[in-house]
Amino acid sequence: DTGVSQDPRHKITKRGQNVTFRCDPISEHNRLYWYRQTLGQGPEFLTYFQNEAQLEKSRLLSDRFSAERPKGSFSTLEIQRTEQGDSAMYLCASTLLLGFGNEQFFGPGTRLTVL
Amino acid sequence: DQQVKQNSPSLSVQEGRISILNCDYTNSMFDYFLWYKKYPAEGPTFLISISSIKDKNEDGRFTVFLNKSAKHLSLHIVPSQPGDSAVYFCAAAGWETSGSRLTFGEGTQLTVNP
């Protein structure tokens, strides 16, 4: 399978614990995005990387959130001291930025439940 | 503020008929628009896109129309099939100003009845 993959698919944690999610983009894609989706809403942008550089972070990304993309390949999203409001689907997307146009390809998501 | 809005949370149509999903946007810097389909427990799947220099783009049963003056776009599915039943998201991007991140609407649940 050559699509975007995410791990784990589901995560249940207790409030106050730290969690880390992984995203493996399509191999030749240079841009990687993280989005968050809550029930009844569309995905909301969190942050994106051009190769290994993190170029933009949304105001939704509090200090408890950190994302990395070492060597411009896979990416991790860590949430420290989780809160119940962090419960959501976390989506990763990738694209090959060649010029105009931006069809982003999404992974299946990681569903986080904070108890 | 909700820069991309899908005012219809749900739409139900009969198999074989046309489905029309609508989307409005407020940010005039958006210049690229996309539609995604999402099944439960899966990530969004890209369907079709249109740039602001066009007013129509067609791909098989799917056609997207863009009315820049009204800041409105629509997705037409003809003929509709039961397998089209899913949540459809409209998304917009501003090439020059936002790093091409996507701003999504709330989604419309389409149900195609056999």
* pLDDT, tens only, A44-64: 999 999 999 998 899 888 899
pLDDT at A6 over 60: yes
Q: What is the structure's pLDDT at A103?
A: 85
Sheet with A19-24: strands ordered across: A5-7, A19-24, A75-79, A65-68
Residue among B34, B42, B43 minimizing CB distance to A103 = B34
In chain B, which residue's Cα lies nearest the Cα of A97? B100
pLDDT at A26 over 90: yes
- ∠ Cα B21 B22 B28 (to 5°): 145
Q: Is B44 on the interface with A (CB under 8 A)?
A: yes
In chain B, which residue's Cα lies nearest the Cα of A33? B101
Beta bridge partners of A54: A49
Q: What is the structure's pLDDT at A28?
A: 86
Confidence of residue B16 (pLDDT cuts 50, 70, 90): very high
Burial class of residue B22, CB neighbours in 10 A (0-12, 13-18, 19+): middle
Question: What is the rounded distance in angstroms from the CA atom of residue A52 to the CA atom of residue A54?
Answer: 7
Question: What is the rounded distance in angstroms from the CA atom of residue A91 to the CA atom of residue A82?
Answer: 17
Say yes or no for a CB contact (<8 Å) between A41 and B106.
Answer: yes
Average pLDDT of A26-51? 93
Average pLDDT of B61-87? 97
Beta bridge partners of A102: none
Average pLDDT of B21-28? 95
Residue among A44, A45, A106 minimizing CB distance to B43 = A106
Say yes or no for a CB contact (<8 Å) between B44 and A41.
Answer: no
Confidence of residue B96 (pLDDT cuts 50, 70, 90): low
**Counting one residue from A and one from B, how many pairs have CB atoms under 8 Å apart?**
66
- ∠ Cα A96 A101 A102 (to 5°): 55
Q: Is B39 on the interface with A (CB under 8 A)?
A: no
Q: What is the structure's pLDDT at A60?
A: 83
Q: Percentage of chain B surpassing pLDDT 70?
A: 96
